[in-house]
Structure 1
Amino acid sequence: MKKLLLRSVIVLVALVGLNWLASFIYVRWDLTEDQRYTISEASRQLLQNLDRDVHVTVYLSGDFPPGFERLENATRETLEEFETYAGGRLTYQFIDPSAATSEEQRQRQYAQLVDRGLTPTNLFANEEGKRTEKLIFPGAIVQVDTLGVPVQLLKGNRSSSSEEQLNQSYEGVEFELASAIRLMAPQERKRVGLLVSHTTIPPARLSDLIATLQQSYDVFLDVNSPESYDGLDALLVLKPDQPFNEDEKYKIDQYVVGGGNALFFIDGARVDSVSMEGTFAQPLDLNLSDLFFRWGVRVNTNLVKDLNSALIPLNVGNMGDAPQIQPLPWRFFPLLNNFGTHPITRNTDAIFARFMSSIDTVGGAAGLRKLPLLMTSPYTKLLNAPALVAYNEARQQPSPAEYNGGIKLAAVLLEGQFTSLFQNRILPSDPRSAGFRAQGEAGRVLVASDGDLVVNDFDYRRNAPLPLGYDRVSQNIYGNKDFILHALDYMTDAQGLITARNKQISIRPLDKVRVQEQRTRWQLLNLLLPVGLVGIFGALRYYWRRRKFGR
């Protein structure tokens, strides 16, 4: 009896001691193969440094099919991890926006969520042989004090299957939530310069990009022609249509050589206007070709036609006195849905391009790594400028045999130590020689061969800009803005929150045919196996006790 009491005391003391130690030592183990419950180091740092209370309200709640339940669970699990690292600064709740006492109240709740920036989704399901439709809001509001940031949780490439898109959304939950929290948390803001002095695009056509950048960065416009771009964390060259002089090119060269980050969104051919009969696209010389060539890329003076393209409305005839307007694919507006393996483009939706040129990589750029980001489909055709561009071409059925140009590069990322174009060209007597850098720190350059990637459309009836990437015909918002923001995020902080986009969770679907065929077998196994194991254990225990005490 004394031995039993002593053992009990020892076990009790050990448990108390372990719990006391656990209060000082925090350990969590993620035993999943794809580390689905582990958040990135950048997210942990962000949460641990919060100095204000953050509340997250998730509206993805209710009776959902398994795919949306999985997304709901992923959001809940991610917020549980966030809550753990935030040290009491983060709280969250799940709300079903469809739960209301009346239809009027439900519609009022829906309208409030739309006003706050959440996009609803129609969810279709079959219930007892009847097709039902339900409006859901797969999103959240991140709230700090009186400010709230909407977060869309259902994201991904819409050309993927619904199961793949839900899995892409699952993988992006951490990044989307952490990015919204970062917007609300005070931090040192990066300095981003926009070089707009060489474009004739009206400011309203760049307003959506500028307004979005101002939420996260200190934005400076290139209106006063600074002596240099040193001090900027990134420089964006937005759809230039006027050539750069040698001094301006020298400033860009020295900024990149000094470890700067530059993003070029430029055209290889100029298309000013298009008519039914057509107009000629002319080569566009920006006086940057030699600079790009030194970096190992060439933007060609051509136009890429792609069978995977957007639509334009076209009058295909009259019925009586009324014109018949029909959307038709126009191959001069490629939809870029072929991406490189990089966190910038991972799980990104298709990119809406207009009058795109092709990019070639060339040798001679030692020490630079070239990473393809955006590419066309394999079904392309090149037109060297000058080239005829006409709306009437959309009426013609294309011959697939003509679109055999293969995959064309539309955006490339360059990383490494850049060598100056002006090496061995700056004389000692030149005033610039004192601060000239032939080679410096490692930097990054992104070159995209379509300036329209950064240009938003404009609604002149409402006198308001449309979202960047919005297509009037399909009414889809493509991934142009996400691509630019992710690229800028990576280039200014490669080890930051952008690393959360590397998370990859494998889909392990069940074989639906085998499930249907073997359904009864597995149901019986799940029902009888636990009962049988308990029975066997009980019989063995009874037999052992009978042998031990049955004397």
Structure 2
Amino acid sequence: MKASIQKNIKTLGVTVFVLIVLNILGTLFFHRFDLTKDKRYTLSATSLQIVKQVKDPLSIKIYMQGDLPADFKRLQLETKQLLEEFQSYNNNIAFEFVDPLENKAESMDIVKSLYQKGLTPINITVDDKGKQSQAMVFPWAVAVYDDKEVNIPLLKNIMGASTTQKVIGSIQHLEYSIADAINKISKVKQKKVAILKGNGELNDVNIAQMLKQIRESYYIAPFTLDSVAKNATGTLSALKEYDLAIISKPTETFSDEEKQVLDQYIMNGGKTLWLIDQVSADMDSLYNQSGATLAYPRNLNLTDMFFKYGFRINPDLVKDEQGSPIKLATGEQGSATRYQDFVWKFAPQVYPTSQHPIVKNLGGIKFDFASPIDTLKNGIKKTVLLQSSPYSKIIGTPSEINLNIVTEKTSPEEYLNKGNLPLAVLLEGNFKSVFENRVLPFKESSFTAQGKPNKMIVISDGDLARNQIDKNLMPVELGYDQRTGNLYDNKDFIMNCVNYLLDDTGLINIRSKDVSLPLLDKEKVYENYSQTQFITIGLPILILLLFGLAFTYIRKRTYSK
């Protein structure tokens, strides 16, 4: 008896000792185990770096609580688990889930206040065993840090996708959405972006949403080239203070002096994002009595410079069978007028095929009157980011563009070996000056013929970064088409370009992270509803019951001897 007691005491002592050692080791060495195949809950190095930036309390309020549809319960759970990961690495991060519709008496006021903040609810149809009902959900969160506030969209809008598909896509981008928001409000701005003016570029109201997005992470300011005529050297020196220059749809010719300023800015390591319309054509000019307009080449005096850098934007248009939808009036004018959806072939709807981080996991991107880009061999690395579909071809200019094109009949043979035309290209390397071995437009003592390692992105559509204007003359979200109600991924693409050019590649890599989410087949579940319920709920309980009975039986049999 005494031996048995001593043995039990010894076992207890060893157990207590092991537990104490494990606790001490746990406090000294922190590690969380992620057993998922795709490492869904393992934060990337970039996210961990962003978390370390948070030195003061940061609170996140998630408006997804209460009676949620099944898909959104999954999104809620994934959000909670991911936020717990963020919190485990920094105790300054706190979060809570709230139900904006919990108090019926105050719900309308709360909904209104959230709407004013830009947190728009979505109404979804819930299908439960064939029974449909409507539900309002706020797939949003708000992060607050040092009197700064940022909205976090938790649901990614994917065109043509079901609610389930949207939730899956959102879960894939969840880490990016949260990390990006924390980064925006906790990071000290360093890089500077210049928005070039002076050559008929887009007005600020037309690129307001792009400017807003860039301003959240970088310093941004307009930069005019008008001063080149009076003080070219001073203008170049001022431009060199910026890390990135964005040239958005210039419509007026660049002088040789202005070209030299841009050229030397690039030679000295300045990054550039070119959004160029090589053909003069736009949708507004089509909405007239004839429904037609003339598309003609635009001379910007940049061809030789682009050629030297290793590419050429041809003064042609891309006609693509995978065009964007357009609504046009049909029938007689007056009460009989109807609006019908057509495919507008001069507005390619491009889905990225490249695995480059800039475009990986992005949805459809809308172009308008885009031109094909030729890449030339000159030692510069070129990566085609976006290209037209296989069923596309080149239309030369000048040529008439008519709305009646929506009714034309085509066959695949018309596009044989003509498609996959580059529309956006990334160039990386040591660029050579277009003014090498040439007389300089203005004297410059620090002229450089061979550039530093650099990169630029060329997009053959100046309107890709253009946001539409609503009836109240306010800019709508970049990528949103008011005529069809579709939301394209233009904003994400532009921001990925900016981040990549400014070497903020970490967030882009988070966005391109692949997450695998296995789903149940709803139709099979409905067909075998009782069987599915038994397998998912009853069977685990039955297994536990059998295990308990077996354990009790074995225990009694062992100690009854």
TM-score normalised to structure 2 length: 0.87
Instruction: Report how far residue 281 of structure 1 moved.
Output: 0.9
In 1, are the aligned partners of 2:192 and 2:242 still within 8 Å (CA)? yes
Amino acid paired to 1:420: S
Cα 1:331/1:407, change in 2 over 3 Å: same
Superposition map of 1:419-430 within 5 A: 419-425=432-438
2:352 counterpart residue number: 338
1:93 counterpart residue number: 96
Instruction: Report how far residue 50 of structure 1 moved.
Output: 1.4
Comparing 134-143 with 239-248, greater Cα deviation is found at: 239-248
Q: Deviations over 1:90-125 (max 9, x none)?
A: 1111112222234xx222222221111112212211
User: Paired residue for 2:490, among 475, 480, 484?
Assistant: 480
> Unaligned 5+ residue runs, structure 1?
none
User: Paired residue for 1:449, among 460, 476, 495?
Assistant: 460
In 2, are the aligned partners of 1:42 and 1:495 still within 8 Å (CA)? no
User: Paired residue for 2:362, among 348, 359, 364?
Assistant: 348
1:137 counterpart residue number: 138
Amino acid paired to 1:469: G
Comparing 182-191 with 259-268, greater Cα deviation is found at: 182-191
- 1-side partners of 2:407 and 2:513: how far apart? 44
Q: Provide the aligned length of Structure 1 versus Structure 2.
A: 539
Cα 1:200/1:435, change in 2 over 3 Å: closer
1:382 counterpart residue number: 394
Over aligned residue pairs, what C-alpha RMSD do you find? 2.8
In 1, are the aligned partners of 2:124 and 2:134 still within 8 Å (CA)? yes
- 1-side partners of 2:110 and 2:313: how far apart? 50
> Unaligned 5+ residue runs, structure 2?
229-234
- 2-side partners of 1:473 and 1:3: how far apart? 81
SS at match of 1:496: helix
Q: Deviations over 1:502-548 (max 9, x none)?
A: 321113234567665664884665454333344444444444445xx
Mapped pair 1:233 → 2:243: yes
Q: Deviations over 1:401-457 (max 9, x none)?
A: 545532222111122333333444479x994364414132x2221110000112222
- 1-side partners of 2:499 and 2:451: how far apart? 25
Superposition map of 1:484-495 within 5 A: 484-495=494-505
2:222 counterpart residue number: 221
Mapped pair 1:263 → 2:273: yes
User: Paired residue for 1:244, among 237, 254, 262?
Assistant: 254
Comparing 445-454 with 390-399, greater Cα deviation is found at: 390-399
- 2-side partners of 1:299 and 1:61: how far apart? 51
User: Paired residue for 1:508, among 511, 514, 518?
Assistant: 518
User: Paired residue for 2:480, among 470, 490, 508?
Assistant: 470
Superposition map of 1:18-417 within 5 A: 18-86=22-90, 88-102=91-105, 105-127=106-128, 129-199=130-200, 201-223=202-224, 224-225=227-228, 226-228=235-237, 229-271=239-281, 273-274=285-286, 275=288, 276-318=290-332, 323-362=337-376, 364-366=377-379, 368-398=380-410, 401-404=413-416, 405-417=418-430
In 1, are the aligned partners of 2:357 and 2:508 still within 8 Å (CA)? yes
- The structure 1 segments of at least 4 consecutive aligned residues displaced by more than 6 Å after TM superposition are none
Q: Deviations over 1:361-395 (max 9, x none)?
A: 23x231x3322222222222321111211223334
Q: Deviations over 1:260-307 (max 9, x none)?
A: 321100012112633425222111232222332333322111111222
- 1-side partners of 2:147 and 2:464: how far apart? 34
Superposition map of 1:509-548 within 5 A: 509-510=519-520, 516=527, 519=532, 522=535, 525-545=539-559
In 2, are the aligned partners of 1:265 and 1:453 still within 8 Å (CA)? yes
- 1-side partners of 2:16 and 2:291: how far apart? 90
SS at match of 2:103: coil
2:232 counterpart residue number: none
- 2-side partners of 1:535 and 1:230: how far apart? 78
Instruction: Report how far residue 182 of structure 1 moved.
Output: 2.0
- 2-side partners of 1:352 and 1:455: how far apart? 11
Amino acid paired to 2:394: L
SS at match of 2:216: helix
SS at match of 1:381: strand
TM-score normalised to structure 1 length: 0.89
Amino acid paired to 1:493: D
In 2, are the aligned partners of 1:156 and 1:347 still within 8 Å (CA)? no
1:438 counterpart residue number: 450
Instruction: Report how far residue 487 of structure 1 moved.
Output: 1.4
- 2-side partners of 1:469 and 1:155: how far apart? 13
In 1, are the aligned partners of 2:189 and 2:217 still within 8 Å (CA)? no
Amino acid paired to 1:446: I
Amino acid paired to 2:245: L
Cα 1:419/1:32, change in 2 over 3 Å: farther
- 1-side partners of 2:322 and 2:223: how far apart? 36
